[in-house]
Amino acid sequence: MKYLKPKSLTWWASLIPVLAGAFVATLPLHGNVSLVAMIDQLTGGTEPMILINAGLAGIGFRGAIA
């Protein structure tokens, strides 16, 4: 469980972009346009794949440091 560190602030800060990117990417499945628009506003319109990759990179770097 090298990468799962729920007590780490870095882990949570990296997990949030992964969840946000996955939520935006699955808009056709859930149809919650208002929440996706809010996430787009907060992230500056960043593509979902970039959010997911940035989050996974942060989790990976956190695991490599530990």
Helix (H) or strand (E) holding 54: helix 48-65
The residue among 8, 16, 61 whose CA lies nearest residue 39 is 16
The model's pTM is 0.90
Distance, in Å, from the CA atom of 28 to the CA atom of 53, rounded to the nearest integer, reads: 21
pLDDT at 21: 98
pLDDT at 2: 84
Tokens of 24: 């935006």
As averages over each run of 10 residues, the pLDDT of the chain (66 residues) reads 88 96 97 97 97 96 84
Q: Domain ranges in the chain?
A: 10-65
Looking at this protein, which amino acid is placed at residue 4?
A: L
